[in-house]
Amino acid sequence: MPHEIKIPALGESVTGGQIAHWNFKDGDYVKTGDILLVLETDKVAAEVTAEASGRLTIGKHADDEVEIGAVVGEIDESAAPPAAKPAEAPQPAAPANAPANAEPAAPVDAPANVEPAPAAAEPAPKPGSAPAVAAEPPPVAAAKTPAPAAGRVTRKKMSPLRKKIADQLVSAQHTAAILTTFNECDMTNVMDLRSKLQESFVAKHGVKLGFMSFFIKAVVEALKAVPQINVRVEGDEIVQQHYYDIGVAIGTERGLIVPVLRDADKQSFAELEKDILAYAAKAKDGKLQVSDLTGGVFTISNGGVYGSLLSTPIINPPQSAILGMHTIQKRPVAVDDQVVIRPMMNLALSYDHRVVDGKEAVTFLIRVKDCIENPARMLVGA
């Protein structure tokens, strides 16, 4: 009896997904452990592996919607593996007594081993007759390759993740009373500190010291200073959270995802940087788990990596606020009544005005600004 290929359970909240692609063709021989297909869900991309060896029969194809437990194909275990291809026979070597100055081989379209005929002498014209003129062959018209008809539109099915993102964004706009407050921070001290510590940091930890770990630590300090931001709404209740699982938005080919850094308050800068790199690698390979994306209390989005100067980020429900980072831009600012050029970054805090007041939001953002402009305070806990 053929072995059925079923979509495995991927988490309590995942009920199905869409087949992104098969790694094998119908009729191919597969082995136990081979990755047969990739399934896209509204949270992660999951790989389905072969649990038996045999000939593959595909029942559901790319872009088909399937539920957890659905049969998408079969493996015929009675099929024999394909025979190994015979080794190619070696080409015969050239004769050892072949002259070194042998003539090159004749062109492919000429008969082999035939001496070219000597050019015939042109006969002299008879007196009073016109010289013979060879008829010129008619010119050959160049073949015209028809230009491919360029399609004016391309349609493709929206992936489950993209649909989930769309639903989340629309839900946030319809449910929360979103308001955004702005500020700017001087990145001089953070940049100087990174420059001084970078070499020894890499030598000790094997990763670079980036800006994101500073902002994660700054957000944790601000959440401790303004705990009213660290809440979520459940029905008619406000749930106060006393832990600091911070989500970091990462852009991928499949869409925006937000893996969560657990207990960011207890992690060192090096541990945060390693976790960020690990999540980025998993996101690129499509190996994030549902547990990697759930349970965050606050989100940081860095549009600055794409060159964004200013934006109004949308809250990631059921969270109550999100911080938007932007590109670092040198511009003139007033310092001690003097105009100087400093690397400045715009910050944006979007928050749910149902549960967060303007004073709390502004206080939170100022605390983040202070931590970034005085990074040594975070290192000593001041």
Single-letter residue type at 142: A
E runs forming strands in the chain: 3-6, 16-22, 29-30, 35-40, 45-49, 54-58, 65-67, 71-76, 178-186, 231-234, 237-240, 246-248, 250-252, 255-257, 260-261, 298-302, 321-325, 328-335, 338-352
Query: Across the strands, what pairs with 340?
Result: 333
Residues 6+ apart with CB under 8 A from 311: 303, 324, 326, 348
Question: 34, 76, 265, 353: which is the annotated catalytic residue?
Answer: 353
Asked whether the beta carbons of 154 and 319 are under 8 A apart, the reply is no
Say if residue 261 is exposed, middle or buried (CB neighbours under 10 Å; 0-12, 13-18, 19+): buried
State how beta strands 298-302 and 246-248 pair: parallel
Asked whether the beta carbons of 171 and 233 are under 8 A apart, the reply is no
Is 353 in the active site?
Answer: yes
Is 109 in the active site?
Answer: no
Rg (the chain; Cα; Å): 34
**Among 261, 164, 241, 225, CA closest to 368:** 225
The residues annotated with a catalytic role in the active site are 353, 357
